[in-house]
Chain A
Amino acid sequence: MFKTGDKLVLISALVFVGWLYGQFWFSDGRGDFAQITIDGKEQQLVSLAENKILEMRGKTGVSELEINDGRIRFKHSPCPNQICVHAGWLEHGGEFAACLPNHVAVEIVANNTLFDSINF
């Protein structure tokens, strides 16, 4: 009843369905890129695939941004209250952190965003 071709189709169909589950259920909506805004206009898109530390020169000094395991955070920032550093790791689409004194902001860009929209 099963020809060799049928078996191949069945096996590839099983692999395909498995891949679909991985793709749509177990990818947790993590962002692939972070958008860094400096002084409200200077924007750059960085990939989160590579672990590294970025140094962003802002209004009052240098903010260190750390990328690790698909996430990004403010490691150090020359500001008095360190709100940006305490925002912690950002990993899901739409998550946002900003160092207001230094005019540096980071937002995760992804297809699946955590929020529909944000108002300030």
Chain B
Amino acid sequence: MSTLILQPSREDYLIACLAAFAIMIHIFEAAIPSPFPGVKPGLANVITIASLLVFGWKIAAWISFLRVLVGSLMIGTFLSPTFAMSLAGAISSIFLLGICWKIFGHRLGAIGYSILAAFAHMAGQFLMAYLLFIPHPGLLKLLPIFMTLALVFGLLSGIIAAAMIRKVPH
């Protein structure tokens, strides 16, 4: 019988470690009650943004995807509507980050990327909710509120990420 040994690379350990941080934040945050469904501070994105600026887009994308997957398994929302919205948000934010990273690189800092990611996350989530669950024009009235919250929380996590990057030697 042959054994297949997968040798994890240094990068794999890095992704696992950072994803574990993000998942931990994600789970802590799930315990905080929220007045609006689907609105959370999104502090786990601090890890994504910091990884983007320090290690590049690929690692940030892995962390974001693993956080949504493992976080939903841990909380118990895997394959539920919450999971669909969360995944839609994560995919749109990581795509926008990828495009902006290609175009702007280090000309944008953590705060800029964080705001962009929060907007894309909210927009993707909202689109998913609109298309799949509540296709009613009345839902659009909530969009400005949600986007305002995305701006506030995006700015907040951006400031935290910027402070974190300054502390980390790289």
Contacts and interface: CB of A to CB of B under 8 A. Distances in A.
Q: Do A and B come from one complex?
A: yes
Contacts of A10: 111-112, 115, 155
B116 interface: yes
B112 A9 contact: yes
Interface string B103-144: 010011111100110010000000000000000010011011
B77 interface: no
Contacts of A2: 109, 111
Majority DSSP secondary structure for residues of A touching B: helix
Name the prevailing secondary structure of the B interface residues. helix
Interface stretch (A19-27, A59-67, A69-77, A100-108): A19-27
A8 B140 CA distance: 26
A2 to B, nearest CB: 6
8 contacts: A1-B109, A2-B111, A3-B112, A6-B109, A9-B112, A10-B115, A13-B115, A16-B119
Interface of A: 1-6, 8-10, 13-14, 16-17, 20-21, 23-25, 111-112
